[in-house]
Structure 1
Amino acid sequence: MQYRFCFLFCLLALILGETQMYSVFARAPATAKIVFASTRDGNSEIYIMNPDGSKPVNLTRHPSRDLAPAWSPTGEHIAFNSDRDGTRDVYIMDANGKNVRKMFRRLAYREFPVWSPDGKKLVYTNAADWGIYVGTINSQQEERITSANFLGGWPVWAPDSSEVAFISTEGPWAYSLKVVNLETRKEKILMPKEEIGKFFDPDWSPDGTRIAFYWSEKGIYVIDKNGRSLKRLISSASRPSWSPLGD
């Protein structure tokens, strides 16, 4: 009898020219939209389009490089990266592209923002020290949540906002899949077990019990949040994403 695992949308080389696809459906606006970054007009801009690919709209229209968009949980706002003020940092705009503002007054090299499930915070990488940080929306508060002994990337919130999964690197092949508890700041290494490898793109299951991730040159794996029950789901695939129901 086969185990019922999550339905993983394995985004296999999903490329539209030089287009980058990001988080998809939102509860607002009422019509579902896909947000993405593209250089289709010669510069990296943030667009939205209908789920069937029709009616793409350039939201940013700025000579700077805008990329890495992420819907807020309500779909009312989009966080993204831009170097429009000289340093790549996190910006927020309304879903229609208006009211663009910096998240922080002090510029820093913050990258790849991800919204917390309640929409009150963002987690991101600060390239100044390659730490994982959490910043509060409409506040100038930010805090490093990972230790200073390694470089961090690919952070993603647990569904209950109590933990963040991320990838740490301490050398060319010293990659680790870790989880940090936001209350205690304790870090747990889920991977590697015995075999080294390069790990990317962690994604929590909707119930917060498992994490899917990409193991370079091996495929998509899933592991329990406590580090047990490692299983490969498919080879020759990357960028896993759970279905909303996790089934």
Structure 2
Amino acid sequence: MRKLLTIIALITICSCKNSKNQVITERENLRIEPIAFVSDRDGNSEIYMMDSDGKNLQRLTNSDSLDFSPSWSKVDNKLYFYSKREGNSEIYSIDIENKKLNRLTNNPANDILPVPSPKGNLILFMSDRNSSSKNLYSMDKNGSKIKSLTNNRFYEESPDWSPDGKKIIFTRQLRDSTDTSHTGNGEIHLMDSNGSNLIRLTNKDGYDSGAKFSPDGKKIAFYGYNQNQWDLYIMNSDGSDLNNLTDDIIECYSPDWSSNGEWLVYTAGKDGNYNIWKINIKTKERLQLTNTTGRNEGPVWR
């Protein structure tokens, strides 16, 4: 009996140690997961990267033009973004290891907001190449085989993939296509990756945008305008159980999930000064990651 109790005690101790080590490992991984974002701290909108604790800041792009909307590939070291360095908005990729730049689109229209698929083989983006409004397109990761996914009079933006790559979520502005302001009624929509089976997920006053699936696909985070303020919201993937996460007097927008689904990184600020923050979903603990004047925005977790 004494030997049996000793064995049980040893198993319990080892189990506790393993559990503790697992928690430490998860925290360490979260700390070093890089976050890419846009900043004009050096006088021009460029793409930067930092660790999840705000340390080890790196500047990834260096151009006289404006670079916007970074998005990570999940399968390699590439970061996708759009830039006006050739006069109009075109889509580029950059290898974060060797800083090699590759231009993917070349069209007189404006191609913006690239988002690589979970498998890395396709890129979603928005373009006005075939209409006066911006619609949703996909292309191969090298810029070939461009396919129209929506074709209508609405202004559409902020596309993203579901974790399994079978669904696409985006904002559709339900009014005149030439009005690109955020004062109208923008709602979150969901469709199959081929553009079929469109459904509307939100139906609230104000503009809703920047929707992102949680890593397990069960939740959706987005930012919305209501009662004269921008806040972060979370809902179930079917649009139910909508909750205001921030309810703040400062503007909060552009959320993105951590890999463990416990945190959102986002932009917050007012009066022309915006910085990168992260918030714990359960505790609502907030941590500031950047602290400069001007605009630091559009953060995305790798």
With the shorter chain as reference, the TM-score category is: 0.7 to 0.9
Distance 1:224 1:218 in 2: 19
Aligned counterparts, 1:103-122, within 5 A: 103-106=149-152, 108-122=154-168
CA apart distance, 1:46: 1.5
Where do residues 82-93 of structure 1 align in structure 2 (5 Å cutoff)? 82-86=127-131, 87-93=133-139
What amino acid sits opposite 2:137 in the alignment?
A: Y
Residue identity over aligned pairs, in percent, reads 26
| Correspondence for 1:9 among 35, 42, 45 | 35
TM-aligned CA deviation for residue 58 of structure 1:
2.7
1:19 corresponds in structure 2 to 67
- Please list every run of 5 or more consecutive structure 2 residues that lacks an aligned counterpart in the other structure: 1-26, 47-62, 175-184
Question: Partners of 1:107 and 1:147 in 2: how far apart?
Answer: 20
What CA distance in whole angstroms lies between the structure 2 residues aligned with 1:90 and 1:221?
29
Residue 223 (structure 1) shift: 2.4
State the shift of 1:184 in Å: 5.9
By how many angstroms is 1:154 displaced?
1.7
- Please give the alpha-carbon distance, in whole angstroms, between the structure 2 residues aligned to 1:184 and 1:132: 9
In 2, distance between residues paired with 1:138 and 1:238? 30
Q: Which segment is superposed worse, 60-69 or 40-49?
A: 40-49
2:203 to 142, 147, 153: 147
Instruction: Assess if the C-alpha contact under 8 Å between 2:135 and 2:152 holds in 1.
Output: no
Map of 1:212 onto structure 2: 265
CA distance in 2, matches of 1:211, 1:191: 11
CA spacing shift, 1:162–1:200, aligned 2, 3 Å = same
State the aligned residue count: 234
Of residues 135, 145, 148, the one that matches 1:99 is 145
Alignment of 1:1-247 (within 5 A): 6-7=31-32, 9=35, 11=37, 12-13=39-40, 15=46, 16=63, 17-27=65-75, 32-51=77-96, 52-54=98-100, 56-86=101-131, 87-106=133-152, 108-128=154-174, 129-171=185-227, 173-183=228-238, 185-192=240-247, 195-216=248-269, 217=273, 219-226=275-282, 228-236=284-292, 237-242=296-301, 244=302
CA-atom RMSD, angstroms?
Answer: 2.5
Of structures 1 and 2, the larger Rg is shown by 2
Task: Give the stretch that moved more between structures: 62-71 or 98-107.
Answer: 98-107
Question: 8 Å contact 1:132–1:155 — kept in the other structure?
Answer: yes
- C-alpha contact 1:10 1:238 (8 A) present in aligned 2: no
Q: Which residue of structure 1 aligns with residue 24 of structure 2?
A: none
Stretches of structure 1 lacking an aligned partner (at least 5 in a row): none
Q: Which moved more, 1:105-114 or 1:179-188?
A: 105-114
TM-score (norm 2): 0.69
**TM-score, length-scaled by structure 1:** 0.83
Separation (CA, whole Å) in 2 of partners of 1:221 and 1:43: 31
Residue 202 to residue 60, structure 1, CA distance change in 2 (3 Å): same
Contact (CA 8 Å) 1:190, 1:227: kept in 2 or not? no
TM-aligned CA deviation for residue 106 of structure 1: 4.1
